[in-house]
Amino acid sequence: MFSLAKIVLPVDFSERSLGAARYVEVLAGRFGSEVILLHVLPPPHYEFSALEVGGTMLNELFAARSAQLRSELDAFQEPELAHIRTRRLLLEGDPAKKIVEFAQNEKAGVIVMPTHGYGPFRRFILGSVTAKVLHDADCPVWTGVHLEQAPEASAIRFDRVLAGLDLGTQSPKTLRWAAEMAAQCGARLTIVHAAVCGATPAGAPAEGDWARQIKERALDEVEALKRTLGVEAEVVVETGDPPHVVCALAKRLPAELLVIGRGSAAGVFGRLRTNAYAIIRQSPCPVVSV
């Protein structure tokens, strides 16, 4: 169900966090959201006592660090978010686990956080907090690899929303979220599907005819889904590598927001199981994984 009544914004005080906060400011202003700024401090590592740092001294250092972070969190974007209902919480523990648990307990509508987008392979970002949150969170996760370049809040608009569908089990939920976001923002909605043809099977038509049949079949599925959900949107179906097709169209439109499907604890469904991270890394605009 679409709801942005409560937004969780994990903060690491980087330029990327500042960019994410600008998007949160715009969303909260439009939807009347409560914003929860969250910083998670990993617990002290007592193995440092081997370096002649006693337990008491380590506790004092940790307490001082906590106080410093508390002060930084209280000051983070304070003028910009002064008109928005906010809570600022400093937690202790494993960052990804605490973020996911907190968002679930609060019934958050979305988690907004940046990602580094390391490397061309999924394994290079699996160790990041964002990647773990993407895998485990039940609610939508709003990410972006270019958030340090985010425009000022006054310049952020959502005039074009792109829904990337793989026509798997998550596609109805993905399209509902994208359609509601577009409707609430008065945005134009476009659906994109990347049809993967593979090798032409024996006895099938010639390669060009086979690709055309694959595209027509996919287009029929998308149109049927639109009718079922009562969604109005233009549809683009192309053959090719899904991350390339989806991200190239996002750039061409240009889209201000890309919505893709994602499972909860089971991970990403369908072809997006292997392509979601590539789409998030390559997208020219923020991505909401539903």
Strands, sheet with 6-10, edge to edge from the N-terminal-most edge strand:
86-92, 34-41, 6-10, 110-112, 141-143, 287-289, 257-260, 160-164, 188-195, 234-239
- 13 plus 75 within the same structural domain: yes
- 137 plus 2 within the same structural domain: yes
Boundary residue ending a domain (102, 127, 150) = 150
Give the pLDDT of residue 63: 87
- 187 plus 54 within the same structural domain: no
Residue 23 has pLDDT above 50, yes or no: yes
Return the CATH number at 137: 3.40.50.620
Residue 44 has pLDDT above 90, yes or no: no
- 22 plus 125 within the same structural domain: yes
Q: How far is CA 199 from the centre of its chain?
A: 33
- 118 plus 243 within the same structural domain: no
- 94 plus 35 within the same structural domain: yes
pTM, full prediction: 0.88
- 287 plus 161 within the same structural domain: yes
Whole-angstrom distance, CA of residue 249 vs CA of residue 232: 19
Whole-angstrom distance, CA of residue 210 vs CA of residue 136: 38
Higher pLDDT, 255 or 280: 255
- 123 plus 175 within the same structural domain: no
For residue range 218-235, list pLDDT tens digits in order. 999 999 999 999 999 999
Give residue 190's domain range.
Answer: 157-290
Give the pLDDT of residue 239: 92
**Mean pLDDT of all residues belonging to the chain:** 87
Whole-angstrom distance, CA of residue 64 vs CA of residue 92: 14
Whole-angstrom distance, CA of residue 175 vs CA of residue 161: 11
Give the pLDDT of residue 128: 79
Boundary residue ending a domain (125, 150, 175) = 150
For residue range 88-98, list pLDDT tens digits in order. 999 999 999 99
Residue 153 has pLDDT above 70, yes or no: yes
- 95 plus 165 within the same structural domain: no
Average pLDDT over residues 169-195: 96
- 2 plus 139 within the same structural domain: yes
Boundary residue ending a domain (121, 150, 179) = 150
Whole-angstrom distance, CA of residue 20 vs CA of residue 275: 23
Tally of domains within the chain: 2
- 128 plus 1 within the same structural domain: yes
266: left (phi over 0), alpha (psi -120 to 50) or beta: alpha
- 59 plus 133 within the same structural domain: yes
